[in-house]
Amino acid sequence: MIIDVVLLVLGTALIIIGLIGCIVPVIPGPPISYGGILLLHFTSWVSFSLEFMLIWAVLVIAVTVLDYLVPIWGTKKSGGSKWGTWGSAIGLVVGLFFSPIGIFVGPFFGALVGELMYQYKKDGKDIEQPVSENQKMKKSLKAAFGSFLGLMVGIVLKLIVSGALAFSFVRAVFKAVF
């Protein structure tokens, strides 16, 4: 009985940390949320089916992999560089201190700064004709938007999966209690 309470408390903490991790880039939200479901499964109160556990494990792995690939894809599709992707992630971390607006503005400005740094860094190192300041800004804005969009798609995918796991967790606990 005591071990069930401990597993429930730890599982609840993991669900909450998992939801936070969907927005904070250094915390892997869906895998942590899945850990919460796993802990609840090990209580004597709740037993999820093997099919449920396997389907959610596959979804968590898929979303975790996509979370790394979607921002890169968004950046590449919009003509951006790794600088924009990194800038977007750094902007998100900085933006967390200025919530809630900073969560959305930070990644965009971070990607923009990263892309502008890249545009000025590569000056004179490529074969192309020299690019005007206006063209650099347009390229950087386009790439920043792609990087930002990729980051936001990743966050939404993680929130969907972690939110569904949180819902399953709460529903299972209520069924066990009531």
Residue 147 pLDDT > 90: no
| Whole-angstrom distance, CA of residue 42 vs CA of residue 72 | 37
Q: pLDDT over 90 for what percent of the chain?
A: 47
Mean pLDDT, range 9-31, rounded to an integer: 93
Determine the structural domain holding residue 112 and report its residue range. 2-177
Average pLDDT value for residue range 59-69: 92
User: 54 or 121: which carries more pLDDT confidence?
Assistant: 54
CA distance readout (Å), 75 to 1, 69, 81, 158, 169: 51, 10, 6, 19, 35
Distance CA 115, CA 92 (A): 15
Contact yes or no for 71/110 (Cβ under 8 A):
no
pLDDT interval class at 131 (50, 70, 90): low
pTM across the whole model: 0.80
Quote the pLDDT of residue 123.
59
Number of folded domains that form the chain = 1
What's the mean pLDDT in 148-174?
Answer: 94
Q: What are the tens digits of pLDDT across the range 111-128?
A: 899 888 888 776 555 545
With 50 as the cut, is the pLDDT of residue 92 above it? yes
Residue 88: pLDDT band by 50, 70, 90 thresholds? confident
